[in-house]
Amino acid sequence: MQQLIASLFLTAFDNPLLGQREDQARMPLAPLTQQGDRLAFTTDSYVIDPIFFPGGDIGKLAVCGTVNDLAVSGAQPLYLSCGFIIEEGFSGEDLVRIVTSMAHTAQQAGVQIVTGDTKVVPRGAADKLFINTAGIGVIPTEINWGASQIRAGDKIIVTGTLGDHGATILNLREKLGLEAELSSDCAALTPMIAPLRAIDGVRALRDATRGGVTAILHEYAQASGCGMVIDEAALPLKSAVRGICEILGLEALNFANEGKLVLAVAPQAEQAVLDALHAHPLGKEAVTIGEATASTQVRLRGIFGTSRLLDLPHNEPMPRIC
């Protein structure tokens, strides 16, 4: 079983580094130092349920999520590791489908899966399949993006409709039966981010996954000492997502996304950033939704001009969203 899986991975993820067949991948440092002066290194475990969903699957998610966590630092993502925890009896057909999806996504994102591990656990010790990926990228010398760079007056931009991933999974899990328009936005964002490196005044990027835009706004506020004020009327929402929120009394700003950035940019960079984002298919609905302020509060300004505190949700709205 272990050997079958190893051979499946070696075939699907085929690249010279993986083919070394040692206990570790070995990559020359010299080409990295030509691309930048810092390594970026990140990891996430993916435990999403269901493992297949409109717009993606756990394998695509495991590549995109880690690639995006690298790319938001300005890094060029280069190498991924992957660790599979598989429940005994898991469908071989589904495993092939997921591994093929990972390989395809990695190729599109320009990263190589260079090392991996598989553990099969007895039935009942894990639910179907969990995937961990860790990623390495290189940050170009001139780039210094980070939440601590944000200043009062900076514009807050999102790159498209919010909450699509969270609403899609919620619809499946709670069997709400809404079919139309609901699809995860799961995507690797590197190609959309790359042109931003040439623009002066980009302060910080994060992808709004678990915890949604709300979590990112709070992280930005905490790291920068600034407040954030967001215009409710400016939030781009698909009508199906808006519908789910109204029916269930939920806040789309708290929903997970898997292909949307929240950017903070200097006011003089706003138009150049929007133009660059609009030039990419994944960013064509990018829009400014608010700004950083001198206060320390995170606030949502309603349609009639009154504003309220935008708190972090006390409970995770849904486990196994990613």
By the criterion CB under 8 A, which residues form the site for its own copies? 1-2, 20-30, 32-33, 36-45, 47, 49, 69-70, 72-73, 75, 79, 81-85, 88, 114-117, 119-122, 124-127, 130, 132, 134-139, 146-147, 206-207, 219, 223, 316, 319-320
Distance CA(55)–CA(73), nearest Å, equals 25
- The pair of structure tokens assigned to 284 is 């064509």
Nearer to its own copies, 68 or 231 (CB): 68
Nearer to its own copies, 116 or 212 (CB): 116
Nearer to its own copies, 231 or 255 (CB): 255
Residue 21 Cβ, how far from its own copies at the closest point, in Å? 6
Residue 82 Cβ, how far from its own copies at the closest point, in Å? 7
Residue 239 Cβ, how far from its own copies at the closest point, in Å? 30
Neighbours of 148 (CB within 10 A): 12
Distance CA(106)–CA(111), nearest Å, equals 5
Residue 45 Cβ, how far from its own copies at the closest point, in Å? 4
Distance CA(83)–CA(117), nearest Å, equals 5
Residue 317 Cβ, how far from its own copies at the closest point, in Å? 12
Would you list the DSSP string of 147-168?
GGG--TTPEEEE-S-SSHHHHH
Residue 50 Cβ, how far from its own copies at the closest point, in Å? 12
Distance CA(198)–CA(142), nearest Å, equals 9
Nearer to its own copies, 118 or 161 (CB): 118
Name the amino acid, one letter, at 279.
A
Residue 149 Cβ, how far from its own copies at the closest point, in Å? 11
Residue 110 Cβ, how far from its own copies at the closest point, in Å? 17
Closest by CA position to 100, among listed 177, 182, 11, 7: 11
Nearer to its own copies, 133 or 168 (CB): 133
Element (H, E) at 120: strand 112-121
Nearer to its own copies, 306 or 315 (CB): 315
Nearer to its own copies, 49 or 285 (CB): 49
CB contact set of 62 (below 8 Å; sequence gap of 6+): 44, 46, 82, 102, 131, 132, 133
**Quick one: 89 exposed, middle or buried, by C-beta within 10 A (0-12, 13-18, 19+)?**
exposed
Nearer to its own copies, 6 or 287 (CB): 6
Q: How many CA atoms lie within 13 A of 36 on its CB side?
A: 19
Instruction: Note whether 76 and 108 are within 8 A (CB).
Output: no
